[in-house]
Amino acid sequence: MSKKIVFILCFSSIFAGSQPAFADKTPLSQATKITAKLFTTAKDTGLRLAPDGNLNFEKSIQPTENEISIFVNPQIRFQTMLGFGGAITDASAEVFAKLSPAVQEEFLKAYFDVDGLDYSLARTSIHSTDFSSGSYTYVEEGDSELNTFSIEHDRQFRIPLIKRAIEAAGGELLLYASPWSPPAFMKDSKDMLHGGSLLPEYYQAWANYYTRFIKAYEKEGIPIWGITIQNEPMATQIWESSIYSAEEERDFLKLYLGPTMEKEGLGDKKIIVWDHNRDLIGHRANTIFGDPQAAKYAWVSVITGMKSGPAAMQNTLTCKTSMNPTLINIFFLPKAPLRPSIRSVISTGRMPSDMRTI
């Protein structure tokens, strides 16, 4: 028997965000007029989020304990959906460049075209990550004045892919960027890898670095919607990584990054804090959003969804109940890699399985 996963889309919305609950003034008497669209994914079939008809909401009656039911109160809504998408990395761009023109076109249509997955947002990195062939930055070592700043490295693979993705998406693609680590000379460890922290004397230089990146990309015709301060700010990894305590991220935002973005005419860009797992979000969010001077620069706190399981979920529930809902918005961002080697997208299937992408 085929296993089915049925998705019900109740309110014509797409994935990537959340905000506190709000009341919908739709009278309960009109609730039965709301139509839900059904999409089915089933094992051993060709059904992959396939349209599977519509259902109308009905006034609920007491179900039996063995009956599977979904209950919806149409007067309470929780989420505002921003979009679907993935991360365009150096790895994805390098692999993409090796594909034949025909397969490149097939790939782009499969993910970004309205007849494909219709991705509407994407994430990219500020210099190198664990999805890069090697470590690099946009400045020469020791250049705190950023006189040597250049995104020439990205022009070979990453920028061309982003431009083609934007074109395939109909000319608009919400794009935001994240750093995995500051340059080594800016850190106490003098190493881009293995954690370490940004030295206070380089806070301003690092804040300037974000603005230089945004302006350089936009000069290439690639609009940047926003940034996250640090990818996984409490994770020490063997690859590019950097540690920020809640207080360090708060102070860097309110005293350096936020004011610098405004000074450089980039105050409209979204700044996302706590780009990490959900289980520690309560402390981070309360520390940053509880400070009015920091909160005015922070758009939301993000949950990347990398850690799962009962313990992590319990921590999430505990943290969320401790947060002030009037101060904090949460942006849910599952890090589900998109792989060009998926057979349903690219029939050749010849790309290395470890070249995880977008």
Domain at 85-332: CATH architecture: Alpha-Beta Barrel (3.20)
Residues of the chain whose pLDDT is less than 70? 1-32, 79, 301-358
Kindly list the domain boundaries of the chain, sorted by start residue. Answer: 4-76, 85-332
What is the spatial distance between Cα 354 and Cα 350, in angstroms, rounded to a whole number?
A: 12
Q: Which pLDDT belongs to residue 316? A: 38
Q: Which pLDDT belongs to residue 170? A: 96
Q: Which pLDDT belongs to residue 57? A: 76
User: If DSSP states are collapsed to H, E and C, what string results for 263-331?
Assistant: HCCCCCCEEEEEEECCCCHHHHHHHHHCCHHHHCCCCEEEECCCCCCHHHHHHHHHHHHHCCCCCCCEE
Q: Which pLDDT belongs to residue 349? A: 28
Q: Which pLDDT belongs to residue 9? A: 39
319-339 in b/e burial notation, b at 16+ Cβ within 10 A?
A: bbeebeeebbbbbbbeeeebb
What is the spatial distance between Cα 288 and Cα 298, in angstroms, rounded to a whole number?
A: 8
